[in-house]
Amino acid sequence: MMKIMDFSLLFLPLNLGRYKDHKCIAELKEFLLKHCLEKNIKGDLRVLLGEQAHNVGLLVSRRVVNLPPQLLPPLYDALCDEISWATEDEPTEELRNSFRFNSYVLVSKIYKHKNADKKNRLSSDSEEAIIYVNPEDEIFHKLSLWSFNFPFHAEQVTAHELKNYRPMGLVMAVEADKVSTFREQLRSLIDEP
């Protein structure tokens, strides 16, 4: 029998407004703005990280890659329950409000095909344009308001199967009201035979 404690994982939402003065959040904001090269998205990102930050949760999700997928729905259910309870149970109105998110920012890792940006240039029909490290990231990506990629310069792909891919960061903005759809789609994905 497996226990969740047997795995290394971290799931938590951080309110970008509440923690705006922390060095790591300031550095993250600076990094994201620097690496967002799409002008139409950069303005939206600047608003989310600035004037709307008090309603934006940075969804931190780090876990071992080989976590059994059937654990994902209960983990995300627990995260959503904790957020909901925090809006009622925190000792002050300010703390309760810090969990009333309108949207989330997620940063994840993907592998992007070297020719993904060139239409019809994938070397074989079996190669995907993007390989998601975590299956839930594909759902978040489809539900996102916007997204952008940035290269991981320090990391090299060594697996032969990934020789045509580059490791990339994927930044997504997801509206909070899309989370129930995400949870349904995640359950459906995991329940597929």
Three-class DSSP labels, 29-68: HHHHHHHCCCHHHHHHHHHHHCCCHHHEEEEEEEECCCCC
The tens digit of pLDDT for each residue in 67-101 reads 889 999 999 999 999 999 999 999 999 999 999 99
Take residue 128 and report the two structure tokens written for it: 């995907």
Residues 146 and 174: their CA atoms lie apart, in Å, by 8
Long-range contacts of 123-129 (CB under 8 A, 24+ apart): 123/164, 127/164
pLDDT of residue 125: 52
Full-model pTM:
0.88
| 56, 101 Cβ separation under 8 angstroms | yes
Radius of gyration of the chain (CA): 18
pLDDT of residue 1: 47
7-11, 71-75, 135-139, 176-180: range with lowest mean pLDDT: 7-11
pLDDT of residue 11: 79
Residues 61 and 76: their CA atoms lie apart, in Å, by 10
Residues 41 and 150: their CA atoms lie apart, in Å, by 13
With pLDDT > 90 as the criterion, what percentage of the chain qualifies?
70
The tens digit of pLDDT for each residue in 128-155 reads 899 999 999 999 999 999 999 999 876 6
